Chain A
Amino acid sequence: MANAEEGSAAPPRSHRIAWLTVTISMGLFISLLLAIPLAPDFLAAASIGGLTRGHLLVLLIHIPPVAAAWLYIYKGPEPKQ
């Protein structure tokens, strides 16, 4: 979005990855909000590393956006001053 404003032809790959990560995380967050009342058994089922699917989802909502944020800081487009 920021790149479109700056008139460049295509956003850099890192910028697209950062946006995609954020979009997926937002989707996961909304899925979590819906799954808590609608699919509690699904969230309670065991997943990898001794975690439940619910706990894994919480990690996925937290860690990738932080990585995306730092990717955006160091590899994202220059802000418009």
Chain B
Amino acid sequence: MNVIAIACFALVIAMTLVITYFAARRTSTAADFYVAGGQISGVQNGLAIAGDFMSAATLLGTTAMIFVSGFDAAIYVCAAPMAFVLFLFLMADKLRALGRFTFVDILATRLDEKPIRLLAATTALVSALMYLMVQVVGAGALVQILFGIDYTYAVMIVSTLMVLYVSVGGMLATTWVQITKAILLLMGISLLALLTLASVDFDFTVLYEQAAAKNAEKGGFMDRLVRPGGLGLDSLASLSLGLGLVFGLLGSPHLLMRFFTVPDAKAARMSAAVAMTAVVYVNLVIFFIVGIATVALLNGNFEYFDADGVVLGGENMVAIHLARLVGGDVFYGVMAAVAFATILAVVAGLTLASASAISHDIYARVIRKGQASQREEIRMFQIACVFLGVLVILLGIAFEGQNVAYLVSLALAVAASTNFPLLILTMYWRGFTTQGAIWGGLVGLTTTISLMVLGPAVWVEILENEEAIFPSGYPALYAMVAAFTVMIGVSLLTKDSAKPILQSFDASQS
């Protein structure tokens, strides 16, 4: 167990608890809990979005993917700027202008409220919960490796902290935890890149030549860092993965919700631009320096591999091992704490989005038909947070050691094929009807889940069948096409029923 890592871990927890304490003193209304009263500035919100978006998968997963699969990690890296630029150009203004607490509020502005809230809150909950579960299972394993804490206790610590931040400090605490994490991550990754470059006298050529030589030894016949093919994708799988990532991010409830925390559309635009700049910086540093350095410097260094040649703690640890190699135990401790802060910020954002779907969309608007008092809604929000915390602990323990990575692509595919088409058609197509939304949303949701179950990740690896019925592990593109087709087709067939709802929507916009 690394004493410095434990000290940094304790410092991160202490900082976040202090943030929660002060946030709780300024959080009392439903608007405070859901959107921090809409008073976060554009730059603050941009950093918080970056903190919300960059999960452990960005810091540890992308580096590991470059280490294992080489150039193909570019698909994951390039999806982020595309998503953020579309957020800015297509959605930021309208999200701020039309939304109140959740993205479902926007749909309910112009579509029949009860069915659309039930559907969209369900899809939001499904995608956020899947994402949350992956984060918590990953967090448990990571905290166990980084700090030597037992997996069960690690899951309980992460879940307890996430419930505490969100249920006590609401969106304000979540925002500042995410800002703190984003700053820590930006500083940590910059220092890691600097120390890495210093170890090769700031000569990129040396780094790349070493990486190419090591990669050639490992691969035996080709340099995967420059020659694509490490993930073994065909063209449809590649398109489905890439577009699923982009549109999945555009439909992610925890990211969408952040656009309601700023006072106006200008600040919403600024949020998207700041977040994009921060994410692009981190992505490029990882893709061009840190990822390459793991191949160049770690390979052949037996201190970081076991007797069978497997990376100690698994391949997701290569970024942390690199930190120790170039910066010693102190920097290892710092980067381990940064990774932990990364996890906390993301799970807090996901918990907030999931709890809001339960308390605002389902309880306050559907069950209580808008008659719940502010106090009752806040109480339900806090109950939902505790419920989610307990659920996540139970699921985290049940799925210990399981490969749940496919749930990330499933979560993003659900968001891409339900939340995103519902939102974009609501915002841009006046002919969109409630029937089109309901049928298209259901088709998107069921197609995604069916194709994932019939695909290799579940049908072969979990259910142990010999061959997958649906050959691709990336269903997003197919489900999106199906959802859009049904939404547009049914809306055209039922266009007469849309008129009264459209008129009320237009009136609210004028």
Question: Which residue numbers of A lie inside 8 Å of B, CB to CB?
Answer: 1-2, 18-19, 22, 25-26, 29-30, 32-38, 40-41, 43-44, 50, 52, 54-55, 57-59, 61-63, 65-66, 68-70, 72-73, 76, 78-81
Contacts and interface: CB of A to CB of B under 8 A. Distances in A.
A43 B71 contact: yes
Interface string B222-262: 01001111010111011101110010000000000000000
B228 A55 contact: no
A59 B285 CA distance: 11
Among B228, B239, B269, max chain A CB count under 10 A is at B228
User: How would you classify the secondary structure of chain A's contact residues: helix, strand, loop or mixed?
Assistant: helix
Pick the 5 closest A-B CB pairs, nearest first.
A79-B265, A44-B227, A33-B242, A36-B228, A65-B85
Nearest to A28: B78
Given A44-B228, A73-B269, A81 B243 contact: no
Interface of B: 71-72, 74-75, 77-79, 81-82, 84-86, 88-90, 93, 96-97, 204-205, 208, 223, 226-229, 231, 233-235, 237-239, 241-243, 246, 264-266, 268-270, 272-273, 276-277, 280, 283-284, 287-288
30 contacts: A30-B239, A32-B242, A33-B241, A33-B242, A34-B239, A35-B228, A36-B71, A36-B72, A36-B228, A36-B231, A37-B228, A37-B233, A37-B234, A40-B227, A40-B228, A43-B227, A50-B204, A52-B226, A54-B228, A61-B81, A62-B81, A62-B284, A69-B273, A72-B89, A72-B269, A73-B273, A79-B93, A79-B97, A80-B93, A80-B265
A69 B277 contact: yes
Contacts of A34: 235, 238-239
A67 to B, nearest CB: 10
Given A36-B233, A66-B280, A25 B85 contact: yes
Given A29-B242, A34-B235, A61-B81, A66 B74 contact: no
B227 A38 contact: no
Contact of B74 (A1, A58, A69): A58
Contacts of A69: 84-85, 88, 272-273, 276-277
A33 B82 contact: no
A80 to B, nearest CB: 7
A41 B242 contact: no
Contact of A36 (B238, B243, B280): B238
B15 to A, nearest CB: 30
Nearest to B236: A37
Given A58-B78, A65-B276, A19 B89 contact: yes
B91 to A, nearest CB: 11
Contacts of B264: 79, 81
Nearest to B96: A79
Contacts of B82: 25-26, 29, 61, 65
